[in-house]
Amino acid sequence: MIKFKKLQKDDFNTVKEYLLLDKTRSCEKVAATLMMWRDFYKIEWAIYENTLIIRYLDALGGKTAYLTPIGENVEAVVKKLGRVTYSGVCKEDLEKIIDKDSEVIPNRNNFDYIYSAEALRVFSGKKLHSKKNFLNRFKKTYNYEFTLSPKKDELVEFFKMIDKKYPHYDETGVAELNETIDMIENSELFGVHIGAITVEGKIVAATVGTKIDDTLYVHIEKADREYIGSYQAIVSEFVSAFDDIEYVNREDDLGDDGLRQSKLSYNPLYLIEKYIINK
């Protein structure tokens, strides 16, 4: 019998050790992502045959789903779990999960957006010309500063202000503020980087991300739209702070049309295709 336990802060380093074995660049395979959403999705974990198993409760459908196991004996784990549902399965992991009776469903809402880090640093190329214009306008209009060490209390107040000013109406969006605050308060433990732009000492944009090897994963990114170009500025400044990365994963769009158009407008290199598998 596989014994699962609720994912808690003290589990971070153990879970991270296994997740670093994954090379798909999927945001679900980043320890900080799981920690951020551990309560909302009621995430649980277990180790079986030296393989990590993650399962969670789909907040919208109320159904338990599993991520692709990671470790030495994925085949044994899949066999042990039997007929269950897997979610967020990348194309390169399909053969580890499916059999002749499996139902394989592409989940477009869950696709991750992968970008060239160099392109986002300077918004190079014709397709990003409008982004560069917004960035230049911000630089000309405001005397701003970018920092990787903002004060936590000021960050929390900024995200609360943004949540109130631009409210969410879906269940995930409403929960996002609490998950963001948790991430900020535990930033050292979770190993995340936080960037913020201030104008006259006031935070107008902020972001939280994880750097793993050649990829920067952006978990949260918010800006006050009254400061024209602030979104483009925080994207450019945060990516520019890491000169050794090649790719940026700005995660999925959850099926939100506005968010999808925004992510597409930054000209991704490719999307990580993910699937739901019903066995």
pLDDT for residue 178 is more than 90: yes
Whole-number Å distance between alpha carbons of 28 and 13? 16
**Which pLDDT does position 59 carry in this prediction?**
58
| CB-based burial label for 58 (10 Å; 0-12, 13-18, 19+) | middle
* Mean pLDDT, residues 139-156: 98
Whole-number Å distance between alpha carbons of 75 and 245? 33
pTM of the model: 0.95
* Mean pLDDT, residues 100-119: 96
Q: Which of 49, 1, 7 is nearest to 28 (CA)?
A: 7
* Mean pLDDT, residues 161-187: 90
* Mean pLDDT, residues 217-239: 98
**Which pLDDT does position 68 carry in this prediction?**
98
Question: All domains of the chain, ordered by start, with CATH?
Answer: 5-110 (3.40.630.30), 112-251 (3.40.630.30)
177 close to 268: Cβ distance less than 8 angstroms? no
230 close to 135: Cβ distance less than 8 angstroms? no
Judged by average pLDDT, the poorest of 53-67, 103-117, 177-191, 243-257 is 53-67
**Which pLDDT does position 9 carry in this prediction?**
96
**Which pLDDT does position 96 carry in this prediction?**
95
Q: Label residues 217-241 b or e (16+ Cβ within 10 Å = b).
A: bbbbbbbbeebebbbbbbbbbbbeb
127 close to 65: Cβ distance less than 8 angstroms? no
**% the chain with pLDDT above 70:** 99
Over residues 37-85, the pLDDT tens digits come to 999 999 999 999 999 999 999 755 678 999 999 999 999 999 999 999 9
**Which pLDDT does position 23 carry in this prediction?**
94
* Mean pLDDT, residues 256-268: 96
**Which pLDDT does position 173 carry in this prediction?**
76
At which residue do the structure tokens 């290199």 appear? 269
pLDDT for residue 253 is more than 70: yes
Confidence of residue 273 (pLDDT cuts 50, 70, 90): very high
**Which pLDDT does position 61 carry in this prediction?**
64
Strand pairing class (215-223; 247-249): parallel
* Backbone Cα Rg of the chain: 19
Question: Is the pLDDT higher at 254 or at 267?
Answer: 267
Over residues 209-224, the pLDDT tens digits come to 999 999 999 999 999 9
pLDDT for residue 88 is more than 60: yes
Q: Which of 141, 137, 152 is nearest to 182 (CA)?
A: 152
